[in-house]
Amino acid sequence: MSMAGLGRIVVDDVRPRTPGGWPAKATCGEVVPVSADVFTDGHDLLAARARFRAAASEAELRTVPLADVGNDRFEGALELGDDLRSGSFEFVVEAWRDHYETWRRDVRVKAGAGQSIAVELEEGAGLLESLLPTLAPGARTRVERAVWALRDEQRPLPSRLDAALDDALAASLAGVVLPEWVTAGPLMPLWVDRPAARFSTWYELFPRSERGFQGTRKRLPAIRDMGFDTVYLAPIHPIGTTARKGGDNTLVAGPRDPGSPWAIGGPEGGHTAIHPELGSLDDFDDLVADAAGLGMEVVLDYALQCSPDHPWVSEHPEWFHHRPDGTIKYAENPPKKYQDIYPINFWPADDADRLALWSACRDVLEFWIARGIRSFRVDNPHTKPMAFWAWVIPDVKSRHPDVLFLAEAFTRPKVMAKLAEIGFSTSYTYFTWRTTKAELAEYVTELSTPPLADYMRPMFWPNTPDILSGPLRNGPPAAFRLRLLLAATLVPSYGMYSGYELCENEPQSDQNEEYRHSEKYEVKPRDWGAPGSLAPFVSAVNAIRRAHPALQVLRGTRFHGSSKEEILVYSRVDPSGGDVVLCVVNLDPHGVQEDTLWLDLGALGMPGDEPYDAHDELTGRTFTWSGHTPYVRLDPAEAPGHVLSLKRRS
C-alpha cells in the first residue's frame, strides 16, 4: 500500500476546496473560513495555521491561526483585504505537535498528582531554550526568565512552575514553531474575484423596448435610483429573418415582428455586430460610459448560437449539426422548438475545426472586453461541453482576471455545481421554484454551507423573460414584494427583470410559465411612472442591502423557528463585524399572519436575560424584545415582512 502524502501528522479534508481540484472561490475584502482535520498518533496536543499567498509568488501574504474546535477539526478565518487584486492564489494548512502546550498540560497533571517532576522541569527548560532563536526581543526576555526559573533549584517548586506555566508566556508562544516540527497539508488553489462576484444587484432589460441605446441611457438614472449596480442587456446583435418568430413564439412573423434577440446574426454581422436599430458601436460605448459614471456596469448576454442568417452558417457549416438530409438542425428543448436558432456543434470531428470554433467564441469575448465589458451573462452554458468552459474561462481570466461570468443554467443540480466549479463566477438557481418555507430553508442552507459555498455563488431571480413562476402568476403586488424581499435578503446577489416593478403577472397559459406577450418576441414600451409601481419599495430594499454588510456575504445564514408554515425566519451575520440582520417574511401574499417566534439568541449575539432592540429597516419602527420568543404580526398589504437590525440595548 502506498503511503504517499501521509506524514507523522495527518492534514485532511481541507476547506475551502472543490470536488475536482479546481480553485475554490473568494472575493477581495471577504472573510473566508479555512478548516481541516488534523490528527496524529499518541496524545500530544496539536496546533495548526493556514498560510496564504499569490500563486505566482513565494511571498506570504497572510498567516492565520487555526483553533481546535473539537473532533480533530481546526478552523480559522482568512481575511482577504480590499487591497488584493483579482487573480490566482493558494493556501496551505500546516500542523505541528505543540510541544510547549503538551508539556504544560502534562506537568500540571503530574504536579497535581504529587509525582516527581524534576526531569520534566529540565525538559521544559530545554524546550523553551530551543525556541529562543525564533522569538522577538520582548518574548525572548520573558522566555529566558522562565528558563532561568525552571533551573533555579533555590526557588520553591510552585514558583518555578508558575514562571513556566504563566498565561502571558503561553500567549507569547502561540504559533511559535521550529520549521522541522511542521507538517504541511496539500497546496490548495483559491481564485479571488473582485467584490462584485460576491455582492451585486442586477436589472435586466431589452434595449429595443427603450428605443435603443439612446433611450437606455436615459433610463439608467432611474435604474440607479432603484439601487441597481448592474444593467444586463438582452442580446444586442442583428436578428435573423429566416424562420423568424412572431409574437408569443408563433411560427409566422408579421412584417413588424422584431424576432427573438437570441436568434443571433444577419447580413449585418454576428456576435460582434450590433443591431442597427439599437444604434452604433459609438452609441454603445456612450452607454457603457454613462453607466460607469453612475457607478454601474453593463453586462452583455453571451449566447453561443446562431440564426440561419449568421455569417458563421455559410462560412463554417462544419460548426453546426447536420441532419441526414443535409439540412442544419435547429434548436429544440422538447416540447419547445426554436426554428429560428441553430445550435453550434462544439465538438466537430476534426480537431482543427474545434480549435478554430473555440477560438472564434473566445474572440467574441475579447471583442467586447476591449469595449469595456467586464461581466457576461452566459446563456444555457449546460448545453455546451464542460471542456469548452474549462478552457475558455481560465484563458480569458489569464489576461483579464476581473472579468466575471454568470451561468444561466436551469438544469440538474450536479451540472449546475460543476459549471460553478470549473470557473463560472456566479450561478442562476432554483429560487424561482422554491416557494414554501421548507423548500426555501433547505435550499438556502445547502447553498450557504460547504461544500457548495466553497465554490458556487448563487444569484436569485424572482423572474426572468422566460419565467413567471409561483405566486407571481396572476399574483397581487404583495406577491411581488415578498418574492423580491426574499431574493434580496437570502443571498448576496440577486437580479430582477424589467417590468417586475410594474407587477406584470399574466402567464402564457395555465401550463406555460412564460409571460403572455413575451418581450422576447415583441417590443414592449412601458409607462415607468404608472401608479402602483414598486420602484420605491425596490429602492428601499436595495438601500438596506447596501447599508448592511451582513446581507453582502453568503455564509452565516441561519433559520429560526416559527410555528406557522407561512412565516419564514432567518438571520444573516457579518463575520468581520457586529452587523446582525433578522428577517421575518410572510410567505402568504393574501392574508395577515401572526406568530410567536423561537430565536437562537446565541447565534444572533443577543442576550437571553435582558432586552434588546429590533429596528425594522423597512418601516422605521423599533421593537424592544426580551428573550427568544418575540411576537410578530405581518400584514402583506403593509409590508411583506420585517428586516430587523438587532442591537444590544447596553
Same domain, 19 and 161: no
- What are the distances in angstroms from CA 609 to CA 601, 602, 606, 635, 649? 10, 12, 9, 30, 12
- What pLDDT does residue 5 have? 59
In a domain, 512, yes or no: no
Strand pairing of 375-379 and 297-302?
parallel
In a domain, 633, yes or no: yes
Residue 234 has pLDDT above 70, yes or no: yes
C-beta of residue 265 within 8 angstroms of C-beta of residue 240? yes
- What pLDDT does residue 2 have? 38
Same domain, 136 and 56: no
Rounded to two decimals, the pTM is 0.94
In a domain, 476, yes or no: no
Residue 416 binned pLDDT confidence (cut-offs 50, 70, 90):
very high
Of 193, 204, 408, 579, the active-site residue reads: 408
Residue 4 has pLDDT above 70, yes or no: no
CATH of the domain at 159: 1.20.58.80
- What pLDDT does residue 20 have? 95
Same domain, 152 and 15: no
Q: Let me know if 408 is a catalytic residue.
A: yes
In a domain, 368, yes or no: no
- What pLDDT does residue 126 have? 95
Same domain, 155 and 183: no
227 contacts: CB under 8 Å, gap ≥ 6: 201, 538, 539, 541, 542, 543, 545, 546
Whole-number Å distance between alpha carbons of 459 and 375: 14
CATH of the domain at 577: 2.60.40.1180
| Domain extent at residue 67 | 1-98+177-193
C-beta of residue 459 within 8 angstroms of C-beta of residue 419? no
- Read off the C-alpha cell for 425: 463566477
Total of domains in the chain: 3
Residue 603 binned pLDDT confidence (cut-offs 50, 70, 90):
very high
C-beta of residue 100 within 8 angstroms of C-beta of residue 126? no
CATH of the domain at 10: 2.60.40.10
- What sign does the CA torsion over 165, 167, 169, 173 have? positive
In a domain, 572, yes or no: yes
Same domain, 16 and 164: no
Q: What percent of the chain has pLDDT over 70?
A: 99
Residue 575 binned pLDDT confidence (cut-offs 50, 70, 90):
confident
Whole-number Å distance between alpha carbons of 407 and 383: 11
- What pLDDT does residue 476 have? 96
- What pLDDT does residue 56 have? 80
Q: What is the 3-state secondary structure (H, E, C) of 544-594?
A: HHHHCHHHHCCCCCEECEECCCCEEEEEEECCCCCCEEEEEEECCCCCCEE
In a domain, 526, yes or no: no
Average pLDDT over residues 528-545: 97
Average pLDDT over residues 37-47: 95
Same domain, 75 and 186: yes
Tens-place pLDDT, residues 347-372: 999 999 999 999 999 999 999 999 99
Same domain, 8 and 149: no
**Distance between the two ends of the chain, CA-based, in angstroms?**
61
Tens-place pLDDT, residues 123-145: 999 999 999 999 988 889 999 99
Q: Let me know if 75 is a catalytic residue.
A: no
Same domain, 36 and 137: no
Same domain, 156 and 88: no
Residue 554 has pLDDT above 70, yes or no: yes
Same domain, 144 and 169: yes
Q: In angstroms, what is the C-alpha Rg of the chain?
A: 30
Give me the chain's average pLDDT, please: 94
Residue 1 has pLDDT above 50, yes or no: no
Of 120, 193, 379, 519, the active-site residue reads: 379
Same domain, 182 and 54: yes
- What pLDDT does residue 59 have? 78
Residue 332 has pLDDT above 90, yes or no: no
